Amino acid sequence: MLIPVILSGGSGTRLWPVSRSAYPKPFMRMGDGESLLHKTLDRALHLADGGRVLTVTARDYYFLTRDEYARHSQAQLDRLPFLLEPAGRNTAPAVVLAALHARAHVDPEATLLVLPADHLIKDVAAFAADVHRAQALAAQGYLVTFGIPPLQPETGFGYIRMGQPIAHSGGREIAAFVEKPDRETAQQYLLSGEYVWNSGMFCFRADALLDAARQHCPQVLAAAQTCYASAFARESPVEFDRDAFLAMPDISLDYAIMERAQNRAVVPASFDWSDIGSWKAMSEVEGGTIADEFGNRTRGNAIIIESENCYIQGEKRMIAAVGVKNLVIVDTGDAVLVAERDRAQQVKLVVDRLRKDNHHAASFHQTVHRPWGSFTVLEDADDCKVKRLTVKPGGVLSLQKHQRRSEHWTVVQGTAKVRVGDQEFLLGRNESTYIPMRMLHRLENPTETDVHLIEVQCGDYFGEDDIERLEDIYGRAPTKA
């Protein structure tokens, strides 16, 4: 049995301002409207036995991920179990937990196909063929990874030095894992033909992975077993005790197991691949854009005059570029990035500065997604804050109150069920209500279509931490909306 395991997390800081910690890279939409996560799920479903795909993700991304999966026409949500991480950790703990889950709920000999959620692969047929080669090697007890034949002397990837071919398999033994090289060394790797990029995708039997963990990183396995035993629920979604989870070593699967194991193999990829690690990489793989005669690509509203080799992406506003070369320009409405294409990796330094300054743009967009729907900030001034709320069918905001602000709600589309104090009533289009400061209130959508509201906040503080939550059907922490 083949079980794809999707690892979905990370902040994607090199793709700011589109990727932010509250809405990271896997949820980014490509030019065709599909997110990277959607595309990864699609590849997984084409290979999964019985449509079963296991996802390991942060608890904060659970509802976003479920909503994204629900958009896939072939997805059966009851066949898509989740392991939810209460905090950030590396790939070794995530994969060992997935193997423990497969052993307990499926089959100790089930084959796990580990897929990061933010890679782009267009040739799905070639990918499937290589997965079948890897699966055959995994059946022999190998721990298999996929290597990408290098296209240029890339210094941003780790490499794998390939060893002897494994007979009748299409795979090769792994001679060594190699750290990111300098450019001269990368050029030598490219010319030798014996090195491939380390893709971060793996294939192995659950029992083989656990045996390797027992031999090479027993501390990771022991901590993962304790963590798995701490789970609050045995059915999806599986949540873990935070202290038990944080007790697991923060280490990658490569360092913990793959670099130390003996029975390891690499399948050189016959498929195209990109980890879209920067805006330069995005500009090269974005299928929704077509380069003009000067090498410019645009997505959204843009005018380019006498400019060369630029990538421009916007949303609502018009972007005009005149007489510039080799630039990346990205506009998300609340932030604009302008960078030289060849220095696009340094965008992460912008995020570092924003975090140091505690600026909300490091984490949040103008539109913030919640389990019940989303809100878009229309105005944020000293004396008021205005939002447009979209509440999904069945969505319920927490029962809450605020100490430093009052709120006015006006329905612009649909019918909402509202509680203010001890009163409950329906609010239709063009109807409004007022929620005084320190008054208990709740909003929900009892209908089968989205409800849209305008919320006007008045007071002296409008932070999301001014919430005293009394009830929440999504089990969120007390001070997050």
pTM confidence score: 0.90
Model confidence at 287: pLDDT above 60: no
Among left, alpha and beta (phi > 0; psi -120 to 50; other), residue 12 is left
Tell me whether residue 295 is exposed, middle or buried, using C-beta atoms within 10 angstroms of its C-beta: 0 to 12, 13 to 18, 19 or more. middle
332-346, pLDDT tens digit by residue?
989 999 999 989 889
User: Beta-carbon neighbour count of residue 135 at 10 Å?
Assistant: 18
User: Beta-carbon neighbour count of residue 367 at 10 Å?
Assistant: 16
pLDDT confidence bin for 481, thresholds 50/70/90: very low
Topology of the domain comprising 2-268: Spore Coat Polysaccharide Biosynthesis Protein SpsA; Chain A (3.90.550)
pLDDT confidence bin for 476, thresholds 50/70/90: confident
Residue 258: alpha-carbon gap to chain centroid: 24
C-alpha closest to that of 14 among 282, 289, 356:
282
207-223, pLDDT tens digit by residue?
999 999 999 999 999 99
d(CA 101, CA 88): 19
d(CA 249, CA 93): 7
DSSP states of 432-477 as a string?
Answer: EEEE-TT--EEEE--SSS-EEEEEEEEES---TT--EEEE-TT---
Residue 370: its pLDDT value, please?
Answer: 92
R_g of the chain, CA atoms, integer Å: 24
d(CA 446, CA 415): 8
C-alpha closest to that of 143 among 86, 84, 93, 95:
95
Could you tell me which residues are beta bridge partners of residue 161? 176, 195
d(CA 345, CA 281): 10
**Can you list the positions of beta strands (E) in 79-149?**
82-85, 111-116, 143-148
d(CA 145, CA 25): 23
Residue 315: its pLDDT value, please?
Answer: 84
* Percentage of residues in the chain having pLDDT higher than 90: 79
Written as one letter, the residue type at 274 is: S
Could you tell me which residues are beta bridge partners of residue 469? 400
Task: Give residues with Cβ within 8 angstroms of 36, minimum separation 6.
Answer: 25, 26, 27, 28, 30, 117, 118, 119, 120, 276
Written as one letter, the residue type at 32 is: D
User: Beta-carbon neighbour count of residue 216 at 10 Å?
Assistant: 17
Model confidence at 226: pLDDT above 90: yes
288-327, pLDDT tens digit by residue?
567 788 999 999 899 999 999 999 999 889 999 999 999 9
Model confidence at 480: pLDDT above 60: no
Any idea where the domains of the chain sit in the sequence? 2-268, 279-347, 367-471
350-376, pLDDT tens digit by residue?
999 999 999 989 988 889 999 999 999
d(CA 475, CA 432): 28
Residue 289: its pLDDT value, please?
Answer: 61
Pair of tokens at residue 339: 């960078």
Average pLDDT over residues 82-86: 94
145-200, pLDDT tens digit by residue?
999 999 899 888 999 999 999 998 899 999 999 999 999 999 999 999 999 999 99
Average pLDDT over residues 274-299: 83
Say if CB 79 and CB 52 are below 8 A apart.
yes
Say if CB 211 and CB 202 are below 8 A apart.
no
Alpha-helical runs (H) found in 233-311? 242-246, 253, 279-285
Residue 479: its pLDDT value, please?
Answer: 59
Pair of tokens at residue 288: 């929704």
Model confidence at 43: pLDDT above 90: yes
Q: Angle at the Cα of 30 (from 26 to 35), degrees rounded to 5?
A: 35
User: Exposure pattern of 29-58 as b/e (b: 16+ CB <10 Å)?
Assistant: ebeeebbbbbbbbbbbbebbeeebbbbbbb
The architecture in CATH of the region 367-471 reads: Sandwich (2.60)
Residue 33: its pLDDT value, please?
Answer: 87
Residue for token pair 């890339």: 154
